[in-house]
Amino acid sequence: MDALPSPAAEEKDGVAAVDRALAILGAFRDGDAALTLAELAARTGLYKSTILRLLASLERGRCAARLPDGRWALGPMLFRWGTLYARAQPVERHLPTLLAALAERSGETASFWVRHAGHRLCLARVRSPNRIRDDLSVGDLVPLPAGAGGRVLAAADPRSLGAVATFGERNPDTAAIAAAVFGPGGGLAGALGLSGPKARMQERAEAHLAAVAEAASDLSRRLGGDL
């Protein structure tokens, strides 16, 4: 009679399976509508047989979907979870109106970022009305501390920063301005910012700094932050 696996072994196998499943989901990049099995194998380094077993589970959970041509796409459950995450953030209900006003006033893309481990996550975004603009989207992760938003979220004392401007730090052709937003008790709620082409941002840097600082203070007041 075969010996039963130890709890430690089961835990290790379970964690490994989850890690591999997350690696498959993480293989999708911006602009990928669907990927072939060969592309998933190349990006994850996993065997195709392993990927297929995990995709079967992901498909049952609606986290992945197999297309008629045999390629794989992300499933609708991921959108639902993302929506639940966004709605769980106390700041989320204030962002649509505030970001739209900031984007209209500045002519640039307005965003709100939160810290996610060693990265910053774009929680909400209203794009510039101009055709030439930066290339980030809601849900994108950017390593800290690159960019104005990253500097704010990674700062030891964000209250001392005021509005921060960076030019060409994350991308040589873009610039950004960001300021900290605070919640109840003075805790850092996130970073509010503008971004756009470097030359255009430099021309109106002073006005953008003032607009971002004003919007960040307004949002902090709405959240009950101790200014």
For residue 64, what are its two tokens?
């992945």
**Residue 111 and residue 215 share a domain:** yes
> Do 93 and 70 sit in the same domain of this protein?
no
pLDDT digits over 39-64, tens only? 999 999 999 999 999 999 999 999 99
Q: How many domains does the chain have?
A: 2
Residue 158 maps to a domain: yes
Range of weakest confidence among 10-19, 34-43, 89-98? 10-19
Which CATH number is 112's domain given?
3.30.450.40
Could you tell me the residue range of the domain that residue 112 belongs to? 89-223
Q: Do residues 93 and 39 share a domain?
A: no
pLDDT in tens, 74-114: 999 998 888 787 667 678 888 999 999 999 999 999 999 99
Alpha helices (H) in the chain, listed in sequence order: 7-26, 37-44, 48-60, 76-88, 95-106, 147-154, 198-203, 205-223
Q: What is the pLDDT of residue 23?
A: 96
Residue 2 covered by a domain? no
Tokens found for residue 53:
């077993």
Judge if 112 and 20 occupy the same domain.
no
**Neighbouring residues of 50: CB distance < 8 A, sequence distance ≥ 6:** 20
Q: What is the mean pLDDT of residues 174-190?
A: 92
Cβ neighbourhood burial of 190 (10 Å; 0-12, 13-18, 19+)? buried
Tell me, yes or no, whether 118 and 178 share the same domain. yes
Query: Is residue 122 within 8 Å of 137, Cβ to Cβ?
Result: yes
* Three-class DSSP category at 182: strand
pTM across the whole model: 0.69
